[in-house]
């Protein structure tokens, strides 16, 4: 041992002795500690003869049969190890009173249908929190739509644009590719071109685009305005003439235009998207206003205004969670409606999805896809039932994750 280390160790031992004596003085009432008292304290430091080793067992090399029995062996000595055994919730819950782990809801989410015929989609119907199938029915399967723009996009990064460049000048071909090649269950037509702050196109343009998409695909459609209340009112009430016989979901309807668009929906018996600005009270109020106008609650899908990962996702999650808890456990009938989540648009307008690949940020396409998937799955955990995505790989991966969550749940409560 070097001289400096030896000196340091001696100082540490001396400090330890002083602490021990102070502790003794507190117990015995002795007030003064003398130098000779330190010499009386003996401290022995023992070092192990053998260096201890840690052995980690590779469970991937363990045969499945050895993990099957739900028995735990406690071994001693050098053969001691920890076994990790997975047992299903129902197996672990055997013998326990159900009220210790189950809290069945008193409410139920309404089912809303959009589209017609065999391809019509039904969303909602849950009687339990997302994926809590041990507490009740999960309702209808989660649905994923893909977005189609009415004009050629100018802000798509190359990692997204390369999938649609060959078809994006024709909304019908774009929609057909999304359905036939990428497996979209519905198509959301985003009327970006009517935005007064962009191209300010009119209702005739919107009707032509929707007619093209209707002829190209047979899946249900979602018509989404430009999020300008005044322009949406002007265009969507004329678009309703084109979609009136197909039970097409349209919106968004907000507080500023609910009277006009609510009347249109009522007149043509169309399902609507009721949009609120990440606010529980406004979401409920808008549902009440539409119902008072005559729109059945069974025709309303709520849009809580979602935020992307890193851009307000936690706020959206919190509001959706509060709405769903109120609907199921407080039996608030005005909030018992399914959610639609416009994920793709929110994710792909973030700066991270447009940055190039580099060592720090990683591969650009994977970054964008993962942001979209994580946002969608997070919102599904908060209660989302209908998702609009942009990237085909996001759709594929999101579908796989949600199917895994869905099928791994025990469907019988």
- The Cα 171–Cα 151 span in angstroms is 8
Contacts 24+ apart (CB under 8 A), 403-411: 405/131, 405/377, 405/380, 406/131, 406/138, 406/141, 406/142, 409/131, 409/132, 409/133, 409/134, 409/138, 410/88, 410/89, 410/90, 410/133, 410/134, 411/133, 411/138
8 Å CB contact between 401 and 373:
yes
Which are the contacts of 367, defined by CB distance < 8 A and separation ≥ 6?
Answer: 352, 353, 355, 361
8 Å CB contact between 207 and 194:
no
| Residue 65: predicted pLDDT | 40
Query: Locate tokens 């100082």: which residue?
Result: 11
Query: What count of residues does the chain have?
Result: 413
Residues forming a β-bridge with 300? 272
Tell me which CATH code domain 111-408 carries. 3.20.20.20
8 Å CB contact between 300 and 112:
yes
8 Å CB contact between 254 and 229:
yes
How big is the chain by its Cα radius of gyration, in Å? 31
| Residue 99: predicted pLDDT | 80
Q: Mean pLDDT of residues grouped by 10 in the chain (413 residues)?
A: 71 76 65 60 56 46 40 42 58 79 93 96 97 93 98 96 97 98 98 97 98 98 98 97 96 97 97 98 98 98 97 97 98 98 98 94 96 98 98 98 83 40
Give one DSSP letter per residue of 259-275, joined into a string. Answer: HHHHHHHHHHT--EEEE
Domain edges within the chain: 1-42, 111-408
- The Cα 337–Cα 223 span in angstroms is 19
């Amino acid at each position: 041992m070097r001289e400096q280390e030896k000196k340091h160790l001696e100082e540490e031992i001396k400090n330890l002795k002083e602490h021990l004596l102070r502790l003794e003085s507190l117990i015995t009432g002795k007030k003064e500690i003398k130098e000779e008292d330190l010499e009386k304290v003996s401290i022995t430091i023992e070092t192990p003869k053998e260096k201890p080793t840690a052995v980690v067992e590779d469970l991937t090399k363990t045969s499945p049969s050895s993990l099957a029995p739900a028995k735990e062996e406690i071994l001693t000595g050098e053969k001691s190890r920890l076994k990790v055994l997975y047992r299903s919730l129902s197996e672990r819950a055997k013998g326990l009173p159900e009220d210790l782990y189950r809290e069945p809801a008193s409410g139920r989410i309404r089912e809303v249908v959009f589209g017609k015929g065999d391809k019509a989609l039904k969303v909602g119907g849950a009687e339990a929190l997302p994926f809590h199938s041990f507490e009740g029915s999960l309702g209808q399967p989660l649905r994923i739509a893909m977005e189609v723009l009415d004009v050629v996009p100018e802000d798509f990064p190359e990692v997204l644009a390369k999938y649609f460049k060959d078809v994006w000048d024709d909304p019908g071909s774009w929609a057909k590719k999304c359905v036939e090649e990428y497996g979209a269950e519905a198509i959301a037509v985003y009327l970006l071109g009517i935005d007064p702050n962009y191209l300010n196109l009119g209702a005739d343009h919107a009707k032509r685009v929707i007619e093209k998409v209707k002829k190209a695909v047979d899946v249900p459609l979602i018509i989404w305005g430009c999020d300008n209340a005044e322009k949406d009112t002007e265009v969507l009430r004329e678009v309703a003439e084109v979609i009136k016989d197909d039970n097409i979901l349209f919106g968004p309807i907000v507080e500023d235009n609910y009277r006009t668009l609510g009347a249109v929906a009522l007149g043509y018996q169309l399902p609507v998207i009721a949009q609120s600005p990440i606010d529980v009270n406004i979401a409920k109020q808008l549902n009440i206003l539409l119902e008072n106008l005559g729109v059945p609650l069974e025709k309303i899908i709520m849009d809580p205004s979602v935020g992307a990962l890193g851009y307000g996702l936690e706020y959206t999650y919190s509001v959706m969670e509060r709405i769903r808890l109120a609907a199921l456990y407080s039996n608030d009938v005005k909030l018992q409606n399914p959610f639609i989540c416009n994920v793709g648009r929110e994710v792909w307008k973030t700066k991270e999805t447009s940055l190039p690949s580099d060592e720090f940020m990683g591969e650009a396409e994977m970054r964008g896809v993962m942001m979209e998937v994580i946002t969608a799955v997070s919102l599904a955990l908060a209660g989302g039932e209908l998702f609009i995505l942009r990237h085909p790989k996001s759709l594929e991966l999101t579908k796989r994750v949600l199917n895994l969550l869905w099928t791994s749940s025990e469907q019988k409560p």
